Chain A
Amino acid sequence: MLRKWPVIAWYVCVVIGLVITLLPFVYAAAGSLKPNHLMFSELSPFTLKAFLPGTDPVAYFNIFEKGFGRAILNTLFVSCTSVVIGLLVNSTAGFAFARFRFHGDKVLFAIVLVTFAVPAEAIAIPLFIMIRGLGWFDSFTALIVPGIANGLVIFLYRQFFAGVPNELIEAARVDGLSWWRIYWTICMPLAKPVTIGAGLLLFVFQWESYLWPLIAAPSPEHHLIQVALGRFSTEFSAIWNEQFAASTIAGALPLVFIFIYQKQFVSALTGVDLK
């Protein structure tokens, strides 16, 4: 009997942790399908019905009438453009760091590493002054261009390309392939796991950005999904079911991708290999 106690304690801790972790997901998803007044009546006094999903999708229709569809399209456009350009630009740089020795390569790569440590929020305000000076204020350019070059993605590709066998590259050189062909037809197809992880990283980075789109592109026709969400929570603060519906949509899409490619995403984000 005594030996079972650690196991029981372990399960108790896991259950408590999971309840805290999952509570907001369950409550928000359940509430998004209920009329507003029902959510309040279920809580005074508290009943477990608060965690059961309702059957009324009206909140989802309402948010699209308030321009949420536009925000989703904007975010998809900005995220997908960032992924395509970002993968190309950062992988070529990673390739150069892995395959070429040139004057100052170590210093340049050190600078790439330093950019990991620069938090996006800390540079958002000076970046805003700069973007305004360039005449990009309140445009998709302001949302996309500053996020394309990404030190972490360069680093991930460099690490992968440095591990590609030299003989493979040498053989291709002897066959007369240009460096561009070696990069594009030999190395990039090999780097598919990195491309999945890095692509997801760039996608999520745009999908979840808030402070930058809030200040750089404030007009509704450029609103990204998190900014639209923030607007709902202040402008329609009393309409809870719509805030839950918008949160559910904004949260579900990246979660689906992250769940499918969890291994690649986690290893791209942290360098940790989940076993």
Chain B
Amino acid sequence: MRLSICHQKWLIPLIFLTPAMLGLFLFKIYPIFLAIWESFFIESFGVGGGKIFVGWENFTLLWNDFVFWRSVRATAILTVVINPVQISLALALALLLQRRSRHIRLIRSLFLLPIGIALPIATIIWGLMLNPNDGLINAMLGIFGISRQPFLTSEDQAIWAIVAIATWKGVAFWMLFLLAGLEDIPRQLYEAVRIDGANWLQRHRYVTLPMLRRTILFVLVADTATNFVLVVPMIILTQGGPRQSTNVLMYEAYRTGFLFQDFGKSMAIVTILTSITMLVIALQVLFLGDRRGANK
């Protein structure tokens, strides 16, 4: 009798949990470790196929590969540009939509529409709009007498065009968290500084920003992680070009694996990218997170 109760205690949760946990372990956790493991092998094309253990060779090959370093550079530029741009715009939009006004629900819904649009769709439509010869944007710039811009076909502008596309798609999503954070700030705080004579800028400097600190940090970390693996616009529009200006690490990993069939090296890039991502996020939390005791 005692045995059967004991038995039931773990058997029932086990039955309820197994399918989902098995799926998570196999398809979400295991691949991370598989990437690290596989980065120490190369695929053999000899008789029977199989893999050959090569130690650090995939990594030393990358270290000496200038394409890889250009890719690191492209990733660094994208990261430094896109995350501040998206978060500032998301915050601006949240402040804009916080206002109680007529039709505010409809206006908010319209601003949220890009969340429901898949990134490939946004990429394709914006890609055509940014077409240097026949695109809508150049036609509209023409009204203001601005000459045609090369956008995605230019080494200097391509990364900015991709930032614009990803920002159009992503800003509303990050805005939601900031809007929720704004609405949690007690109104009395604003009243208090208003009585002290603070203007618009000071109110946000001394109330909004400190009160939103945790939300902003969360959005920054999540946005950074998302943008480190931004690869769809590169696959569809630029193939890493022109002159590798948009060849970010995630695209380089994709290219190395699926265009050159070098999966060992591809996994090495994925491993490096994951490590960089974790390092950057750790630094963000360290420098922007609550410093315990610092204010007391």
Stretch of A61-69, A147-155, A162-170 at the chain-chain interface: A147-155
A269 CB to closest chain B CB (Å) equals 8
Q: CA–CA, A204 to B173, complex, Å?
A: 15
> From DSSP, what is the main secondary structure of chain B's interface residues?
helix
Known contacts A24-B168, A244-B125, A262-B112; A103 and B10 CB within 8 A of each other: yes
> Per a CB cutoff under 8 Å, which of A125, A210, A234 touches B119?
A210
Q: CA–CA, A100 to B9, complex, Å?
A: 8
The verdict on A274 contacting chain B, using a C-beta distance below 8 Å, is yes
Docked complex: B109-155 residues within 8 A CB-CB of A:
109-122, 124-129, 134-136, 139-140, 142-143
> Per a CB cutoff under 8 Å, which of B17, B35, B111, B142 touches A18?
B111
Docked complex: B20-55 residues within 8 A CB-CB of A:
20-32, 34-35, 38
Q: CA–CA, A18 to B258, complex, Å?
A: 39
The reply to whether B120 and A125 form a contact with Cβ atoms under 8 Å apart is no
- Chain A: residues with CB nearer than 8 A to chain B? 10, 13-14, 17-18, 20-25, 27-28, 39-40, 43-46, 50, 89-90, 92-93, 95-97, 100, 102-103, 105, 108, 111-112, 114-115, 117-119, 121-123, 125-130, 145-149, 151, 154, 179, 183, 204, 207-208, 210-211, 214-215, 226, 229-230, 233-234, 240, 243-244, 247, 250-251, 254-255, 258-259, 262, 266, 269-270, 272-275
Known contacts A154-B20, A255-B116; A210 and B232 CB within 8 A of each other: yes
The reply to whether B176 and A272 form a contact with Cβ atoms under 8 Å apart is yes
Known contacts A18-B110, A258-B116; A89 and B96 CB within 8 A of each other: no
Known contacts A10-B96, A126-B35, A244-B125; A102 and B13 CB within 8 A of each other: yes
Q: CA–CA, A27 to B121, complex, Å?
A: 13
Known contacts A10-B99, A123-B32, A251-B117; A149 and B107 CB within 8 A of each other: no
Known contacts A27-B129, A111-B29; A122 and B274 CB within 8 A of each other: yes
A206 CB to closest chain B CB (Å) equals 11
The reply to whether A10 and B101 form a contact with Cβ atoms under 8 Å apart is yes
Chain B residues whose CB sits within 8 angstroms of the CB of A211 once the complex forms = 231-232, 235, 254
The reply to whether B38 and A129 form a contact with Cβ atoms under 8 Å apart is yes
> Size of chain B's interface in residues, with CB distance under 8 A?
84
The reply to whether A125 and B35 form a contact with Cβ atoms under 8 Å apart is yes
> Per a CB cutoff under 8 Å, which of A14, A108, A146 touches B96?
A14
- A-B pairs with CB below 8 Å: how many? 231
The verdict on B267 contacting chain A, using a C-beta distance below 8 Å, is yes
Chain B residues whose CB sits within 8 angstroms of the CB of A100 once the complex forms = 12-13, 16
Closest 4 CB pairs of A and B: A149-B23, A93-B20, A208-B118, A96-B16
Q: CA–CA, A117 to B225, complex, Å?
A: 8
The reply to whether B19 and A92 form a contact with Cβ atoms under 8 Å apart is yes
The reply to whether A262 and B109 form a contact with Cβ atoms under 8 Å apart is yes
Q: CA–CA, A250 to B235, complex, Å?
A: 19
A192 CB to closest chain B CB (Å) equals 20
Q: CA–CA, A207 to B108, complex, Å?
A: 24
B72 CB to closest chain A CB (Å) equals 16
Cβ contacts A to B, 15 pairs, < 8 Å:
A43-B139, A100-B13, A117-B225, A118-B32, A125-B266, A126-B31, A128-B257, A129-B267, A149-B23, A149-B24, A154-B20, A211-B235, A247-B125, A258-B115, A272-B180
The verdict on B229 contacting chain A, using a C-beta distance below 8 Å, is yes
**From B237, which residue of chain A is reached at the shortest CB distance?**
A233
The verdict on B270 contacting chain A, using a C-beta distance below 8 Å, is yes
**From B110, which residue of chain A is reached at the shortest CB distance?**
A18
- Chain B: residues with CB nearer than 8 A to chain A? 9-10, 12-13, 16-17, 19-32, 34-35, 38, 93, 96, 99, 101, 107-122, 124-129, 134-136, 139-140, 142-143, 168, 172-173, 176-177, 179-180, 183, 225-226, 228-229, 231-232, 235-236, 250, 253-254, 257-258, 263, 266-267, 270, 273-274, 277
Q: CA–CA, A44 to B140, complex, Å?
A: 10
**From A247, which residue of chain B is reached at the shortest CB distance?**
B121
Chain A residues whose CB sits within 8 angstroms of the CB of B35 once the complex forms = 123, 125-126
Q: CA–CA, A226 to B232, complex, Å?
A: 11
The reply to whether B24 and A111 form a contact with Cβ atoms under 8 Å apart is yes
**From B263, which residue of chain A is reached at the shortest CB distance?**
A129
The reply to whether A125 and B263 form a contact with Cβ atoms under 8 Å apart is yes
Q: CA–CA, A208 to B154, complex, Å?
A: 29
Chain A residues whose CB sits within 8 angstroms of the CB of B23 once the complex forms = 89, 145-146, 148-149
Known contacts A122-B229, A125-B263, A149-B19; A45 and B120 CB within 8 A of each other: no
Chain B residues whose CB sits within 8 angstroms of the CB of A179 once the complex forms = 12, 16
Chain B residues whose CB sits within 8 angstroms of the CB of A40 once the complex forms = 134
Q: CA–CA, A93 to B128, complex, Å?
A: 44
Q: CA–CA, A50 to B134, complex, Å?
A: 12
B265 CB to closest chain A CB (Å) equals 11
**From A95, which residue of chain B is reached at the shortest CB distance?**
B16
Chain A residues whose CB sits within 8 angstroms of the CB of B101 once the complex forms = 10
Q: CA–CA, A101 to B219, complex, Å?
A: 33
Q: CA–CA, A14 to B103, complex, Å?
A: 12
Chain A residues whose CB sits within 8 angstroms of the CB of B270 once the complex forms = 122, 125-126
> Per a CB cutoff under 8 Å, which of A10, A43, A151, A251 touches B121?
A251
